[in-house]
Structure 1
Amino acid sequence: MSRPFEIRREVVLSASPEEVWRAIATPEGQAGWFMAGPDPAESGAEIDEDAPRRLEQRFGTQAIEYVLEARDGGSTVLRFVHSGMAEDDWGDEFETMTGFGWDLYLFTLGEYVRHFPGRPAVYVEAEAPNVPDAWKRILAALGDPAEGDVVEVLGVPGVVDKRTDHHLGVRTADSLVRFHERSLLGMPVAVGDHDYTPGVDARAKAAEWTRWFAGTVQG
């Protein structure tokens, strides 16, 4: 059995609709704030678009819609809807954690178009060992920081731009790093690293994160 869900958000972005469109509607743009993947059109998604005003992508029983509206001063209002059917096995935690996730992703989109507009990114992800106190150990290793604090991630200084119960975001000179606490979904802590450094090796960077997690959580 499944049940319907709908997640709605509205954000103001410091970029033109054309810049936001590139970020949401192309694989290279999505790697800068969301995650890497194949072109939706090549993965079997149904796409309805009116560039640069509206984009809807349907994946099976779920749909994601972006509606863009230009504002004075070169900014854009983005209205976002993620809707569809969720499996009953998840319960309320699916919508809760998915909503938290989109809050972080849309915030990251704003940071991307503000601080790294148009820069190509390599998206890297890694998971920590799935132990009960992994999240606390990771926060402690970073000094249990608040928003605005300076921390080091993989030896690189950055500023904490987002801190919630389930997420920690760090912006460095060349990357946006996002830690995800996913215990409500029965999943380990993960990191998503949007790296804008030219020529970065994604496989080597993922291995570096895996080693950091192992040393931090199990060391």
Structure 2
Amino acid sequence: MGHPFELGKEIELSATPEEVWSAIATGPGIDSWFMGHSEVEPREGGRHRFAMAGEVEDATVTAWEPGKRYAYQTEPGPDGTFMAIEYLIEGRDQGSTVLRMVHSGVLGDNWETEYDALRVGWDMYLGTLTAYLAHFAGRTGTPVTAFRPGAGDPDQVWAAVTSAFGLTGPAVAGQPARLELPGLPPTGGVVDLVELPTYFGVRTTDALYRFIHSGPDRGNVLVVGHHIFAADADPAGTRQVWQDWLTGLPVG
């Protein structure tokens, strides 16, 4: 039996309403901070398409008020489950903007685990949106996603990930971080998102690197969900480098 839910978040962004609208209501904007790949048909009744890991989900745009309100909703599945997302944009003084997000719908039988994943996941993605608008506004990011199911328990995984970035002890926002991968330029930056045991992020001059651990109830999957802003980014090649890195990470 499905379980109705509603989840709300509010953040203040150092960006204009127009910049926020571009980030949350266009395909290239969404790709610069959210998971997977998105396409948006810019009108009420249009299509909002989301694709990740070979799966495609279509939704209908239910509200299209440029600079103010954007919303979309998936069709109910055979079990009645569906998702609806609404964004409300409010401009503030000195070029800042308040963004309110409401995610609602009907979850399946394992709704408590799903809801908790959504709650924490939105914190990470809205944190990534904040970083995108503060440091990469006007640029388009290339999403890079890779997975390692059964990676191991959170303590093992995060010890390996943070060690790979040259960190010792607990990860703390603001720490310098550096990673060298064969096939990619050396990656130096700063830790900018930390909420262990769920997610960890590093910002560089041309990328937002994001790592997510699903937890034991969801298969101990370690997910790479990066956004690359380099002009010469090679999505397929970069994804393969990170998939190889995940596969070879000394955990599990």
Where has structure 1 moved over 6 Å in runs of 4 or more?
A: none
Q: Which of 130, 135, 138 is the equivalent residue of 1:115?
A: 135
More helix as a share of residues = 1
Q: Distance in 2 between matches of 1:55 and 1:129?
A: 34
Unaligned runs of 5+ in 2: 41-46, 50-57, 76-81
Task: Please identify, of 132-141 and 26-35, the stretch whose mean Cα deviation from structure 2 is larger.
Answer: 132-141
Q: Distance in 2 between matches of 1:83 and 1:29?
A: 22
Q: In the alignment, what sits opposite 2:202?
A: 170
- Does the 8 Å contact 2:36/2:145 carry over to 1? no
Task: Please identify, of 58-67 and 209-218, the stretch whose mean Cα deviation from structure 2 is larger.
Answer: 209-218
Task: Please identify, of 9-18 and 187-196, the stretch whose mean Cα deviation from structure 2 is larger.
Answer: 187-196
Equivalence map 1:160-199=2 (5 Å): 160-165=191-196, 166-183=198-215, 184-199=217-232
- Give the 3-state SS of the residue equivalent to 1:173 in structure 2: coil
**Structure 2 residue 65 is matched with structure 1 residue 50:** yes
Q: Which of 171, 185, 188 is the equivalent residue of 1:157?
A: 188
- Does the 8 Å contact 2:48/2:60 carry over to 1? no
- Does the 8 Å contact 2:21/2:66 carry over to 1? yes
**Structure 2 residue 103 is matched with structure 1 residue 71:** no
Equivalence map 1:12-31=2 (5 Å): 12-31=12-31
TM-score (norm. length: structure 2): 0.81
Percentage of pairs with the same residue: 37
Q: Which of 114, 121, 124 is the equivalent residue of 1:94?
A: 114
Q: CA deviation at 1:151?
A: 1.0
Structure with more relative contact order (C-alpha pairs < 8 Å, separation 6 or more): 1
Name the aligned partner's letter for residue 96 of structure 2.
S
Aligned length: 218
Q: Distance in 1 between matches of 2:4 and 2:84?
A: 12
Q: In the alignment, what sits opposite 2:247?
A: 214
Please provide the CA RMSD for this pair. 1.7
Q: In the alignment, what sits opposite 2:74?
A: 59
Q: Distance in 2 between matches of 1:111 and 1:66?
A: 18
Name the aligned partner's letter for residue 70 of structure 1.
G
Q: CA deviation at 1:129?
A: 5.0
Q: CA deviation at 1:136?
A: 3.3
Unaligned runs of 5+ in 1: none
